Structures are given as C-alpha cells and as structure tokens.
Structure 1
Amino acid sequence: MKRIHRAGLAATAIAGLAVVTITVNVQAAQPGGSAVSPVAAARANAAQLGIGDGSDLVVRDVIVDSDGSSHVRFDRTYQGLPVVGGDVVVHQDKAGKSRSATGGVGKLALSVKPAVSAASAAAATKQKSAKQQLVVFVTNTGQSKLAYKVVSEGRKANGEPTGTETYVDAQNGKVLDSWTTVNDDLGSGTGLYVGTVGLDTTKSGTSWTMVDPVRGGNATYNAGTLFSDADNVWGTGSNSNAQTAGVDAHYGIAKTWDYYKNVHGRNGIANDGKGAKSYVHDGAYVNASWSDSCFCMKYGDGDPSQGIGPLVELDIAGHEMSHGVTSRTAGLRYSGESGGLNESTSDIFGTAVEWYAANSQDTPDYVLGEEIFTDYNPATNYIRRLDKPSLDGASADSWSKSVGRLNVHYSSGVGNHFFYLLSEGSGAKTINGIAYNSPAANGVTVTGIGLSKAEKIWYRALTTYMTSRTDYHGARTATLNAATDLYGASSAERAAVAKAWAGVNVLP
C-alpha cells in the first residue's frame, strides 16, 4: 500500500448463471456423471485454437458452472521451459465444445540454447543474491523470447521487505522487463482499529497461540515469534502492547477468509484450505506487503512523527491478501496496465472485505487506510480513494494511452474508479458520513448496481476471464463476459458495466 495521502503533507512513496462452483483439485473438476472431462476437452480445444498442444499445457485452475460450462486455466510450457505470459483460459460448454479462449500465445518456434550465461544475466539486473531460471518470456507486445528470470529478495535500509523479478534476454543480455514481487502499499482481543473482537486461537499446553484452527491455520506473529498468551485475552487497544496490532491482523485475515468463502465460495487465498501467516511489528516503516514466496503478509509499524500508526487496518489486510488471490488466479503481471489492475483488484476487494465485516469501529467506506492516521479524517487523510482517485495528487481517474507508464499504485485509479461507479454511480452523495462526488468521463451518467453485484462481477472476471497480460480494455471485456454469465446478456447489470467503463474512458 505504497502511496499515503494526507492533507498538508507531501505524498510518500441473476437472471443468468446462478451458481458458480470453483475447483482447484483437477481430479475432482469433472461434474459427477459427465462423459466430458473439462480438462481433456480444453486441451483439445487449445490445440485447435493454436494456443498449445496437450503436452505444453499445465492445469492451474478449473471452474465448472452450474450449467456444466467450464473454464480451464492453463500455464504454458515450451520444450520444458515455463512460458511466462503464455497462460490461457479455455472456455467451453457442457459438451466440451469450445466457446472462446482468453490470453495465451500462438505457435512458438525459438531456440532454447542461450548465448548469455546465467551469471551475466544476474549481473545485468544489478541485484544481489539473485536466483536465475531459464524461461520463455512473452512481452507486453506479444513477442516471445528466451530469457532468464532473475529473482532477488532483501530488505531496505529501514527494514522494509523488497523483491524484484527481472527478465533478461538470454541471447543479447538486455533487460526485457522488471517488477516488484512484494505487492506493497503500504479468544477475544482489543485492537488498534477494530475495537474488542472475538478471535479464533489454538490451545497449546497451558497457553494459547494466534493460530486459527477454523481457517486453515492462519497464524499471526510478533516479528518472527508466534504470538502466545496465558489467558486468551489479547491486546489492550494501546500500541504500547505488542499484542494489540496482532489483534487487528488476526481479525483481518479471518474476515478476509470469511469474505472470500461466504461471498465467492473460495476456500482460502489459494483455494486449497490452507492458511497464511501475518507478521506485525515487521519494522519501523510506513507500509504493508504480501509476498508469494512466504505466503504471508508483513506489516510495518508506521511512523509516529508523521502521525501514522501500524498498517494493520482491516481494508489494508484485505488488500494484501487479495494480492495472493490474484497471483493464484489471473496472475496479473505487476507492470504496465496489468499491474494497475493487480493493485486495483486488491483495493476493490480490500474495500469489499471492510463492507463485509461491517465493524462498527471501522465504518465501511470507499476510502483505504484512513484509520492509520492519528488525526483521523477520511476526507483528507488516506492511502487511496475509489470515487475520485486523482484526489491523492497522482492517481488516474480515467484511462489514457499513458496510463500504463504510471506507477501501478497510480494506474490502479482507473479500475478503482470503474468499480466505484459500478457500485454507487456518478455524482455527489454521502455514504456512511463521507461525502463523495464521483465524476464520469464522456458525459455519461452512471447508475450504480450496488457493491454486492459489482464485487461478484469483478471476482468472476478475475478468476475466469483475466490472464497475466490483461489490460484495461481486456478487463472491460472480462467484466462484460462476467456480467453476462451472472445476470444475462440483456441485463441492466451488463449495461451498467459498459457505462461504468465509458465513465473512465475505456471504450470499445
């Protein structure tokens, strides 16, 4: 959650388908009694569409709809090498007949013998302690090149975690692309922001630990040490008690888990029933992050001199964990417009988690991170806001050809603004005590369909139609397809999706 906005301060860095069944266990993906295997049909359809032979495709995820239609997400390989950006979703009816495909790359014909050594590739990235892997890299313009994937992880001087993923052309040693791998943005217990809440913990001998036995073993740590307590009553509401921030984090991961399960039918971040780890008091920095490598969140303690407390607010927790959901579904590349969509997805679902939790101490809104400021004022102090993203001084309200060149925390404004317009509509209104006045481009007036419908459309678009290189125009197509699936091709919901995209200048 990188960008912090504070007034007076410089900015720092269902008429259609009623039920969707999501399955990541490929063995169990085939509906009972069906003579058509979705995976086998998808492999055959992919070959016919020219986006991979059966041996080139590795199943990542399978979605089977209530009407028997299926959507199989594949990762692509080439002569045994991963094809980064070659992921594809094949869509087919219940009989296995191909309907369409999203993403993918056509026939590949390139040498897999590098002219540059792995050590030279690592040196080109100027990263220390880097790991290299030979891959086929698909650029944002669709070119396929033999490349080294160079990954490095470390810490900044202030202790904040960092990570970089860089792709170096294996034939000439030039850097093709690079992005961060740390998606940053910044019993009972009494937290800093959530008040006194119930917590699911685990009895261990004569004490309790912050391990959630109900939600896959989600665990919360004080820096590197698992929180434990003698009486299962955690925190005091004061930051002077180390457990207090832990209460917010443990509550946040529980509410995010419940949101995805109860609203979208998703069983944990990776949809495998396994919990994640949260590390509070990770360092004296103003940020929070998700890392795939540790399957964990890390929360900085903020900066009292700026009037900013620990970044364990509920919508921040939902934001960070949603990066994990994205990585295990669409895998949106963290650069260009796809990177903006990645950040926007986390802002959208972080907001949705807050509305789902309906915590009286953290009133639901369309503003992110306002609780971390000691001089709480959501009109002026926040990390980002969805109704008019440009109020932070840098984010984009609408799409333009230059959006993809912005930092992903700023290009996310296009998706955030779309989601607000779809949920609440354009114009001035007050919601839960906060005044909003959301503009719309191209002279359109948007009537919202409500957050409940909008979040379902975005989730289906993310998990069913988006792929790693989806841009904003691709997101428009994905959400229109999702709205058609959920509410019908002639529905008011689908029409609202089209109008909301027009309101942020994403046009056909």
Structure 2
Amino acid sequence: MKKNFTHVKALAFAVALVISPASLLQAQNQRNNTEISVQNLPEISKNSVMGNFQANFSGQDIPAGFLITHLGEWLGTDSDHTYKLVKESTDELGIKHFVYQHYFKGVKVGDELILLHEKNGKLTYVNGEISDKINVQVGNSISEMEAEKIAALDMKAVGNTKFSDYEQLITKVDNGRGIELHSVSKIEGFSLKPLNAFIYYIDNSTKNIVKKVSKNYEVDTPSNSLTLYKGTQPITVDSYNGNYRLKDNARNIHTLDGTNLDGNYDPTTGELSGGQEYTNATPDFTATNTKPAVEVQWAMEKAHDYYISRHNRNSYDGNGSILRNYYHFDFGIFGNTPGYGLNAAAIDASGIVCMVYGDGAYPPYASGVVANPVVGIDVAGHEYSHLIIGRNGLGGLNYQGESGAINESIADMMGAAIEFYSGINANWTIGEGILNPAVLPPGYFRSLSNPNSGPAAVGGQQPDTYMGTYWASTANPSDSNDHGGVHTNSGVGNYWFYLLSSGGSGTNDIGNAFNVTGITIQKAEKIIYRALTNYMTPNSTYMDAYNATKQAVTDLYGASGNEQLQNVRAWYAVGIGNGVLATNEVANGGENQFTIYPNPVKGGMFTIENNKNDSTFEIYDVSGKLVKHADKLSKGTNKININGLEKGIYIVKINSNGTSVSKKLIVE
C-alpha cells in the first residue's frame, strides 16, 4: 500500500530537534519541584534487529517537552541525527500523540518513526524504530528516470506502467544475518499486466535493487438484491442512463466488471480503464451472473459502515474517498496462466487504489469446480482493511516477514469483525463457501479459532504459536516464499484475537498451558485498531504487537484490569510474554529479565544472561519437540553448549518462580 505521508509533509510545523549538551539536560519536575535529567529517564527496551523499541513512562511525571528537547541524547544518537515532527494529534481519550521522523545528515531514515504519547501533560509511553549507529555515504543518487528503468525491468510489465513517490532515503535490509543500511533511491511502481505493485529500494552506488516491498495484498435507490453467499440483502444503487448500476453515492462505493481491464488508467482519478458497469432495468439485481458483484457491493457497504460505527473512520483514508471494486479480474499471475481467478487483492500504489476479485477459476478448471467466486464479506472486509492498515498514519506495516504477517492478521481480524457486525451467519473462518470442500477440505481459507486446520494446498495450515508448528521462515522475503510467510504466520495473531474475543484453554506448541476468558469481539477489535493506529511502526514484530496492544488496553480499560489480564494471557497462549499481570506488568514483562546472545548461534555455544534466581531452561524445536531437557540457570552469565543441534530455528523456554518466557533461537 502507498505510504501516504502527503498530509504529514504539508504540515506547516516541522522542526528539527537541536541536541543539547549533557550539562544542560536538566529540568524541574512540575509536581514536586525535583530535578530531572536524561540519565533518570526510563530505559529503552529494544525488541528486534530492526531497532523496534519501547519505554514505559507511566508514573514517571515527565513532561513531553523535556523529552522532545533531549530526544537525541536519550536515544543515544549524535549531532548527525535529527528528528522532525511530522504529525501531532489528540485522540478521543484525550491522549496526545507526537510522531517524529528520524533523519541522518539530512536524509530520511526509512520507517524510523519515534512515537511519543502524552496524557495530562505527562508522557505515558514512547515507542518506535531507531538506528543509533549509521555508517553510510549520503549525497550521491541515481536519477528518477534511471530508477524507473530499473524498476520497470524487474516488473516485466506488458503495457503501461506507472511510477510515483521517488525520493532519497536510508533503508534497512534484513539479510537473514543482520541489518544492512543502504543509501537508496526509492520509487513506487504499478502495472496491471501482470498485476504488480511494489516499492523499490535501489542502492545509489551499485544500482542494485536491495529491497522491494509488495503493495499488492493478496488472499485472498434502495435495492434488495441477490448476493452469492448471503441471500437477498439490502444495498444501495443509483440510476444510470435509464437503468441502475452498483454504485452507492452516499458511501462512495462503486463495483464494476473487471473482465476487460486493459492495463491503462486515468492518472487524475486512479480509475482503471476497461471496467464496465453492472446494469439492471430495476433497482433489484437478482440475475445469477450479477450475484458475485452484488455480494461485493453489499460487503463493502457493511465494511464501510463497520469502520464508521466502531472506529469513526470514513473510508480507507479517513476522508471518504471512493472505494472501487472490480469483480471478475483475471489475475493471470499464477504460473502465467490466463484466466486464473482464485484470488482477491487490495491495491494502493502509485495513485491506484482499488480492490479486485477473481471468479474462482483454477485453470484448466472453470469457476465453481475448485472454487467459487472470491467475494465473501470476510474476504472483502479483509481487502478493505489492508487499505486501512496501509493508511494507519504511521507508515503502515511492511508486507514482509513478521510485520507482513501482522498486516495479514489484522486484515483477517477485521474481516471477521465485519462479518460479525453484519449479523448474518457470522463465524471464525475466512472464505467459507468459496473453496469446494470436496476438492480443498475443509472448504475455507483460514480459521482464526483453529489456525492449524486450513487446507495446505492454499497455505491455510497456519501456526497458532509463535515459532510453532507450521511457522514459515521469515528469512529473505520474496514473491516465491510469500514475502516471508505473511499468509502463514498471520495465524499467530489470528489465534490471539480469537482467544481475546471468545476465550479458550489448552497447551500450546512450546508447552505453555493457558486459560483465557474472552472479553468480547467488540473490545478486542477496539484494542487492535488502537494499537495499529497509535503504536505500530512499519517493521513491527509480534513482540511489538504484544507491547502495542498492552498500551492500547491501558489507554482504553486501564493497566491492571481484567481486559489487560486476558490480553497478556492470550499472548502467552500464542507463545509471547509470560502471561502474568504483575503490578507493573506493562513496564516490566518477564521477557526483559533474560538476554540470549549471540543469536544466530555459530559454533555450538551461546549465552543466557539471567537476572533472576531459581531459573531453569529447556529447548524445543519448531514442531514443539523437546530437544534439550530442563537445566538450571545461575543468576548472571550462563554459557550453554548445544553442539549436536542441527541448523534451524528453536525455542528456548525459561522458567522462573512459576512463570515462563519463550525466546527464539537460530542455530547456523
């Protein structure tokens, strides 16, 4: 999806922070007149190699202005690093949010946003992404025309292409062994044949594409008209040349026939050329051939109303922009087979914003044999939610690795929530009725209540535990490995959402016994939406999602109530956190008491730094099999010998005083 910072860049107020000398980094605490300094600020807890971090300021009585003035010093950066305010807002709870963009020697560091959250004049929480040590040459760049040529060659487009958002920045690349920083020319590209939408990052020195991020998110007058899966439903149509068409002007939703899309588009409106109106002599569309398109129109009306009713958001951008849908789209990208229709997608790239839906054809099989049209309400809600995720105001969630899995997961969560909002045969599966259960049992794409149960042939077998059974490698994301398992690993977030909504008990793949009491889907959806739009940055991991939802719960329901208890229990159920709500749990999760390094492990030896007494550890493989039995940990430094373990991904489970923490370990 397009990273829409246009409205942010247009703000008149954009100030680069000046880093003050350490001797001046002091202020007076307004409440008790005691002196505060940078050295007394809460410690930063980093979660990933991408530089994701958070710090809890609750109860610290620190004014936002003090940290803003001394932000660079607190983050550990020198005078080459500056921070510019790009967004400031106050939400319905009275919490003020500041978003700062990180720059190095005047060049933007991609994805690196610092988020400050303040209530009643005092900081409550700070999070974001930061690279405090940068060693790249800036200043040289390739031209926009050359960047377009490099991207066009990679897209292999037949017909028109469109490019936009050319800019210079520093980008982070996870090469599977660590993070590389590159000075790049970034450009966004779109082609219809084949369907491609990517952000390209081209190294200014080598002219190689060092990263590309998909922007094509895949799966997947009053009228009483006939839908494909939900029977006769009320929709809105309008009069058109003496007939009626599938267009709701009040909601700004338009559904067209995408059979003859020709690869062109209107650059001023972003509308694809070749789309044809579905028309009918009366307002009620009841013909068999229009049922899939009617389903899309009805589903999008429900999705639109859901976001306004539950989250006060009008359209994907919050500004009421048009929602265009094209049914009967020929994806033609699966093995380059023309007529492929077992897919649905949301596109937000280079000014093109729309959703496209296939007819279920799986060449040489026609629609209805392997699958029916991919137009269910949860699928449509899923695709629409992708557009909203990309416009969360914080740069979206990059469509690769764990951030991509969270992107897919939130789209599934919201797709299910929209179906429950409709009140019509709601359930916890995605795409039921689309797949032929005789060919692809059990007849749905994915299940939030049982992620393991989906059909393997379409990637529906998902993990319900972080790094557990069916977890897909996130290394070297590309088209060929589903961008690092985004559709597979989303099962972890899906199961968290289901448990938080409805509850459940059991033992997960790494041996954690859990018991969660559901708090209702209405509360769960508020939590994840608030976490998405206030606390998640582009490279958020599952640990970041864990911290973001904890802060969202604190904002909505308090730090220590039942909602927070069930939230941490639900995350523990999927293998993240310790599941315990201590007095200061939000700031001091058990996961911060242990450090594992080096990770990845080379040479058969790694270290566990342990800050607690009476601790033990054990190691599991990703299938949940115990490969190293429990052994005692001393307080302090522990050298662990794992000679004999095969290369791969493992889970280290650390137990202390009745609680447990699980950490990922990579053995090379």
> Shorter-normalised TM-score: what interval?
0.7 to 0.9
- Give the structure 1 partner of residue 316 of structure 2: 269
- Give the structure 2 partner of residue 149 of structure 1: 186
Cα 1:438/1:310, change in 2 over 3 Å: farther
* Structure 1 Cα separation of the partners of residues 385 and 8 of structure 2: 17
Aligned length: 451
* 1:420 paired residue among 485, 494, 498: 498
* 1:48 paired residue among 70, 77, 80: 70
* 2:435 paired residue among 367, 373, 391: 373
* 1:289 paired residue among 341, 345, 350: 345
Q: Give the C-alpha shift of residue 43 in structure 1.
A: 8.7
Q: Give the C-alpha shift of residue 295 in structure 1.
A: 1.6
Tell me the TM-score normalised to structure 2 length: 0.61
Q: Give the C-alpha shift of residue 305 in structure 1.
A: 6.3
- Give the structure 2 partner of residue 38 of structure 1: none
Q: Give the C-alpha shift of residue 188 in structure 1.
A: 2.3
| 2:474 partner SS | helix
1:100 aligns with 2:122: no
In 2, are the aligned partners of 1:269 and 1:321 still within 8 Å (CA)?
A: yes
Cα 1:73/1:323, change in 2 over 3 Å: farther
In 1, are the aligned partners of 2:142 and 2:185 still within 8 Å (CA)?
A: no
Show the 5 A alignment for 1:332-411: 332-359=397-424, 363-375=425-437, 380-392=442-454, 393=456, 394-400=461-467, 404-405=474-475, 406-411=484-489
Show the 5 A alignment for 1:170-319: 170-186=204-220, 187-204=223-240, 206-215=242-251, 217-223=252-258, 224-236=275-287, 238=288, 241=289, 243-283=290-330, 284=339, 285-293=341-349, 294-303=352-361, 304=367, 306-319=369-382
* Structure 1 Cα separation of the partners of residues 114 and 179 of structure 2: 13
* Structure 2 Cα separation of the partners of residues 150 and 441 of structure 1: 45
Cα 1:287/1:49, change in 2 over 3 Å: same
Opposite residue 313 of structure 2, the aligned amino acid is R
| 1:412 partner SS | helix
Tell me the TM-score normalised to structure 1 length: 0.79
CA RMSD of aligned residues (A): 3.3
- Give the structure 2 partner of residue 36 of structure 1: none
Q: Deviations over 1:124-164 (max 9, x none)?
A: 873345846433213456654311224443356xx6x2323
* Structure 1 Cα separation of the partners of residues 450 and 510 of structure 2: 10
Opposite residue 462 of structure 2, the aligned amino acid is S
Q: Give the C-alpha shift of residue 388 in structure 1.
A: 2.3
In 1, are the aligned partners of 2:502 and 2:521 still within 8 Å (CA)?
A: yes
Q: Percent identity?
A: 29
Q: Deviations over 1:251-297 (max 9, x none)?
A: 11111111111111222221112231011111231100001132210
In 2, are the aligned partners of 1:46 and 1:53 still within 8 Å (CA)?
A: no
| 1:338 partner SS | helix
Q: Deviations over 1:352-381 (max 9, x none)?
A: 00000012xxx1111100121355899711
Opposite residue 127 of structure 1, the aligned amino acid is M
Cα 1:335/1:416, change in 2 over 3 Å: same
Based on CA coordinates, which of the two structures has the bigger radius of gyration?
A: 2
Structure with the larger helix share: 1
* Structure 1 Cα separation of the partners of residues 413 and 402 of structure 2: 16
* Structure 2 Cα separation of the partners of residues 308 and 91 of structure 1: 47
| 1:232 partner SS | coil
In 2, are the aligned partners of 1:24 and 1:272 still within 8 Å (CA)?
A: no
Cα 1:211/1:175, change in 2 over 3 Å: same
Cα 1:454/1:472, change in 2 over 3 Å: same
* Structure 2 Cα separation of the partners of residues 368 and 87 of structure 1: 33
- Give the structure 2 partner of residue 9 of structure 1: none
1:134 aligns with 2:168: yes
* Structure 1 Cα separation of the partners of residues 187 and 119 of structure 2: 40
Which blocks of at least 5 consecutive residues in structure 1 are unaligned?
Answer: 1-22, 28-40, 429-436
Opposite residue 500 of structure 2, the aligned amino acid is L
* Structure 2 Cα separation of the partners of residues 409 and 98 of structure 1: 36
1:113 aligns with 2:139: yes
Structure with the larger strand share: 2
| 1:445 partner SS | strand
Higher relative contact order (CA 8 A, sep 6+): 1
In 2, are the aligned partners of 1:117 and 1:170 still within 8 Å (CA)?
A: no
1:322 aligns with 2:344: no
In 1, are the aligned partners of 2:348 and 2:387 still within 8 Å (CA)?
A: yes
* Structure 1 Cα separation of the partners of residues 515 and 187 of structure 2: 47
1:459 aligns with 2:493: no
In 2, are the aligned partners of 1:235 and 1:244 still within 8 Å (CA)?
A: yes
* Structure 2 Cα separation of the partners of residues 142 and 42 of structure 1: 31
| 1:382 partner SS | coil
Q: Give the C-alpha shift of residue 469 in structure 1.
A: 1.1
* Structure 1 Cα separation of the partners of residues 123 and 344 of structure 2: 42
Q: Give the C-alpha shift of residue 413 in structure 1.
A: 1.1
In 2, are the aligned partners of 1:152 and 1:163 still within 8 Å (CA)?
A: yes
Cα 1:175/1:82, change in 2 over 3 Å: same
Cα 1:120/1:198, change in 2 over 3 Å: closer
